[in-house]
Chain A
Amino acid sequence: MRRIAFVLLTAWLATAGSTPAAQNGGRPAPETLPRRADSLKFAVLGDNGTGEQPEYDVGQRMAAAHAAFPFDMVLMLGDNMYGRQDPQDFVTKFERPYAGLLKEGVLFYATLGNHDDQNNRFYKGFNMGGERYFTFVKKNVRFFVLDSNQLDPKQRDWLDTALQQSDEPWRICYFHHPLYSDGARHGSDVSLRVVLEPMFVKYGVNVVFSGHDHMYERLKPQKGITYFVSGSGGELRKGDARPSALTAAYYDQDQSFMLVEVAGDDMYFEAIARSGAKVDSGVIHRQPVDSRESR
């Protein structure tokens, strides 16, 4: 009888999502970051720029994480600024919340969301070089940063060429609107997916990060690519996740960010809640391009 009660309670916790671990199907988050000296370490943050207390809390939590896991950069997944975007707002919505990281020399690489002023690409702190879409390399990883607000033919053409010319072992793409998401408010953007996914598969993109839905979600690999939604760096839509057969893990009860380490052929990741709880973790093994194309 006790055993039945325990099973029922566990199942309820798993569906109600009252604890971080419960939202991952009751499993603890076992993987830890290896913290190798020669690896690439970075954080991921989306939909953060509210200038409100939760954003500051996440900023402090990231600074604390940096002390133990000295990441070099932060990928910003868009909606880096909400509301008014005057010079003073860059201070209250970016420079102050992440002062601890900026002081340590951590670089932020942003993409534009639907709430961002297009001119923010010229803001030095976002390291966009004045471009809507761009690419950069860190160690063995090439990053492709897209403007998913609209995929104009020039951007598609540019991406095709940039992916084709890339010879780094890891290819990571990030942009604001998710190709796969189980968020109730927005969900998957299928019109973008049918354009981008064939290119990602063809050229061997390994991992894709997006925001927009204000929660955390990791999708089961789709055509060999792992998709993350990390859109609760400041904004939060509590209870927004509608887990489906595609969901590997999710967390929608508090603000969160991610820590990532690429070491050789493995990418380790952790999703951390504002409270400091680890809400998801794992490792992705890099797959050769050919094996994915044959799927």
Chain B
Amino acid sequence: MRPQAQALPVHPVSVRRRRRSAAARLLDRFVHGYLALPIGVAIALVWANTAPERYFITAHALAFPVNEIGMALFIGLIMQEIVEAVMPGGALHSWRRWTLPLIAAAGGIAGSAGLYLGYVQGRYETILTAGWPIACAVDIAAAYYVLKSILPRSGALPFVLLLAIATDLVGMLVIAPQYPTVASHGGGLGLMLIALGVAGGMRALNVRRFGPYLVICGTLSWIALYREGLHPAFALVPIVPFLPHEPRRLDLLADPPDDDAVHHFEHEWNTVVQVILFLFGLVNGGVMLRGYDTGTWALLLAALVGRPLGIVTAVGAAVAVGWHLPRGLGWRQLVVTALASSSGFTFALFFATGILSTGPLLAQLTIGALGTAAGSLLAIGTARLLRVGRFAR
């Protein structure tokens, strides 16, 4: 008879540690898997379609702090990552790399905006015209991760990143002045100059912590934009160039390595932003599904057909007059790359809330914005069909 194994006494602290580490692992998966926003949207969709009154009351109450304040941190983080990627030593530093992606971005914007506007004009719903920047939005992270899963370590990755960044920068420039507000109060320019002066001063004093820049200068910049009737979610854009930077690798929106002071702050910032993205999805992703209408179809058509067509056509024209495709990027890969950039999701949702206020127009375009996520599946399906990247084997 074997002696019965005696259980070791478990110290309550070690149980707590194990539980904490499991929770931390879950949070890590949540943050690094870029799932925060889709989970928020999924919850919102179920909530809005089962208890709409309760959902919309909650969403309205949270809309201002999430969309106008919280999203400033998201836009700021995107800017920080772009600045680090294009600075000397950064993955996207060489300006020669930008030429063809910029042409592709212009083609994508022309294709998506053209098809969107053509569709709504053809349906005589001119009221939807204002929504064209939503049709142009590219979900940077979705495009990057989808393409990385199909074409890892290929020239398509910097290409799609530059294309997506250039496209969204144009969108941001268009929507920033369209912020729907009651009135502008003036005095913003002075406040902005103070914010920039303080940021410059901190930089001169070699302040390495992000907190003072974000809290002091970011707040001043936010008030400045708000008073001028501009979208305050862009408050950190002028502040970010003053932050301490370290060149970084390509994993845009992925958690940076926590190996120096700057990246440590970015790591913390990223965690906060993922929580904000979850709330953003929760607050803005809830639409009643029967709210679909002309704007929904226009947006889907523009993003899933117009943009890829525009990108391939523009690059084709550029190649015809002497440009060269990046190494490792053939025509089949270009088609898949163009389709990978057809998902607007996060940025389309952000642009929609930046341009439109509560109402059925916003609802139908939100459904379209969420539907563009199908672009990622379209890219994977096409890659499989064309035997591109990991499907070549």
A139 in the interface (beta carbon within 8 A)? no
Judged by DSSP, the binding face of A is loop
**Can you name the residue of chain A whose Cβ is closest to the Cβ of B55?**
A190
* CB <8 Å contact, B359 and A157: no
For B21, the chain A residues whose CB sits under 8 A away are none
A83 to B124, CA, bound (A): 5
For A193, the chain B residues whose CB sits under 8 A away are 53, 56
Nearest CB in chain A: distance from B126 CB, A: 5
* CB <8 Å contact, A194 and B60: yes
* CB <8 Å contact, B361 and A185: no
Interface string of B347-382 (1 = CB under 8 A from A): 000000000111111110000000000000000000
Among B186-245, those with CB < 8 Å from A are none
For A26, the chain B residues whose CB sits under 8 A away are none
Interface string of A178-206 (1 = CB under 8 A from B): 00000001110111111100000000000
* CB <8 Å contact, A153 and B181: yes
* CB <8 Å contact, B359 and A84: no
- Interface-facing stretch out of A3-11, A17-25, A27-35, A109-117: A109-117
* CB <8 Å contact, B56 and A148: no
Interface size class on chain A is: 20 to 34
A191 to B52, CA, bound (A): 8
* CB <8 Å contact, B361 and A151: no
A80 to B293, CA, bound (A): 18
Nearest CB in chain A: distance from B132 CB, A: 15
For B360, the chain A residues whose CB sits under 8 A away are 114, 148-150, 177, 189, 192
A85 in the interface (beta carbon within 8 A)? yes
* CB <8 Å contact, B124 and A82: yes
A187 to B287, CA, bound (A): 13
Q: A114-B127, A149-B127 in contact; A157/B182 too (CB < 8 A)?
A: yes
B290 in the interface (beta carbon within 8 A)? yes
Nearest CB in chain B: distance from A170 CB, A: 26
* CB <8 Å contact, B357 and A115: no
* CB <8 Å contact, B181 and A150: no
Candidate in B56, B127, B288 with the most chain A CB atoms within 10 angstroms: B127
For A185, the chain B residues whose CB sits under 8 A away are 290
For B8, the chain A residues whose CB sits under 8 A away are none
**Set B52, B56, B357: member contacting A152, Cβ < 8 A:** B357
A119 to B356, CA, bound (A): 18
A139 to B128, CA, bound (A): 37
**Can you name the residue of chain B whose Cβ is closest to the Cβ of A195?**
B358
* CB <8 Å contact, A153 and B182: yes
**Set B182, B288, B362: member contacting A150, Cβ < 8 A:** B362
Nearest CB in chain B: distance from A204 CB, A: 22
B28 in the interface (beta carbon within 8 A)? no
**Can you name the residue of chain B whose Cβ is closest to the Cβ of A158?**
B182
Judged by DSSP, the binding face of B is helix
A275 in the interface (beta carbon within 8 A)? no
For B56, the chain A residues whose CB sits under 8 A away are 190-191, 193-194
* CB <8 Å contact, A150 and B293: no
Nearest CB in chain A: distance from B288 CB, A: 7
**Can you name the residue of chain B whose Cβ is closest to the Cβ of A84?**
B124
Q: A153-B182, A157-B182, A187-B290 in contact; A192/B359 too (CB < 8 A)?
A: yes
B33 in the interface (beta carbon within 8 A)? no
Nearest CB in chain B: distance from A161 CB, A: 11
* CB <8 Å contact, A117 and B126: yes
A154 in the interface (beta carbon within 8 A)? yes
Interface string of B53-68 (1 = CB under 8 A from A): 1011100100000000
A118 in the interface (beta carbon within 8 A)? yes
For B57, the chain A residues whose CB sits under 8 A away are 194
Among A82-98, those with CB < 8 Å from B are 82-85
B328 in the interface (beta carbon within 8 A)? no
**Can you name the residue of chain A whose Cβ is closest to the Cβ of B124?**
A83
A132 to B337, CA, bound (A): 43
For A114, the chain B residues whose CB sits under 8 A away are 125, 127, 293-294, 360-361
For B290, the chain A residues whose CB sits under 8 A away are 185-187
Nearest CB in chain A: distance from B184 CB, A: 11
B118 in the interface (beta carbon within 8 A)? no
* Residue positions of B touching A, CB distance < 8 A: 52-53, 55-57, 60, 124-127, 180-183, 288, 290-291, 293-294, 356-363
Known contacts A82-B124, A177-B359, then 16 further A-B pairs from the complex at CB < 8 Å, ordered by chain A residue:
A112-B127, A114-B125, A115-B125, A117-B126, A117-B127, A118-B127, A148-B360, A151-B358, A152-B180, A154-B182, A189-B359, A189-B360, A191-B56, A191-B359, A192-B360, A194-B56
The 18 sampled A-B contact pairs (Cβ below 8 Å) are: A114-B127, A114-B360, A115-B124, A116-B127, A117-B126, A118-B127, A150-B356, A150-B358, A150-B361, A150-B362, A151-B359, A153-B180, A157-B182, A189-B291, A191-B288, A191-B362, A194-B56, A195-B60
What 5 pairs between A and B have smallest CB-CB spacing? A150-B359, A190-B52, A152-B357, A152-B180, A194-B56
